[in-house]
Amino acid sequence: AIIIGFHVRPDANARSAAEREGVDIRTYRIIYEAVEDVRNALEGLLKPEEKETVLGEAEVLELFKVSKVGTIAGCRVTSGTIQRAAKARVVREGVTVYTGEFGSLKRFKDDVKEVREGLECGIAIENFNDLKVGDRIESYRLEEIKRTLATSASESQE
């Protein structure tokens, strides 16, 4: 808890009681500083907004069953780049059937960090082996965007 004071000073008893109870006492002489601190404290309570950016898309052309690894999808990157460090999403007939992580990304026999549009690659999805020819595998990134009271207020008016 926080106690906000404007042009006041807590006495020794109030200060020791607040310390004992874990209460933060903040005093201000300038109202704008008090308002700014309250705004910052409230914005800290807002859940950040998540923004998704699709980095690339690949189409599954062929499937390979590999012991100890699972299913490897032979794919062609149809747009953007498939990035190993990004999140993975499997889309079948317009419906997302799995969201997770890339298990591996290979170009020929080499492990790679990314594969560009127009190139072919082998993709394994971690903990998912139910891939089918024709599935789309998307590579995407989630960014957390800190919300402010102004953006939160405009969202609630829409």
Angle at the Cα of 107 (from 120 to 56), degrees rounded to 5? 55
Q: Would the pLDDT of 136 be above 70?
A: yes
| CA–CA dist 90, 60 (Å, integer) | 10
What are the sequence ranges of the domains in the chain?
2-48, 51-142
Residue 73 has pLDDT above 90, yes or no: yes
Residue 152 has pLDDT above 80, yes or no: no
Tell me, what DSSP letter sits at residue 110? E
Interatomic CA distance for residues 131 and 90, integer angstroms = 8
Average pLDDT for 143-156? 71
- The two beta strands, 95-107 and 87-92, are antiparallel
State the pLDDT at residue 93. Answer: 93
Domain 51-142 CATH class label: mainly beta
What tokens appear for 5 in the block?
């004071």
Q: Write the burial class of residue 26 (CB in 10 Å: 0-12 exposed, 13-18 middle, 19+ buried).
A: middle
- Helix, strand, coil abundance in the chain, percent, nearest 5: 20, 55, 25
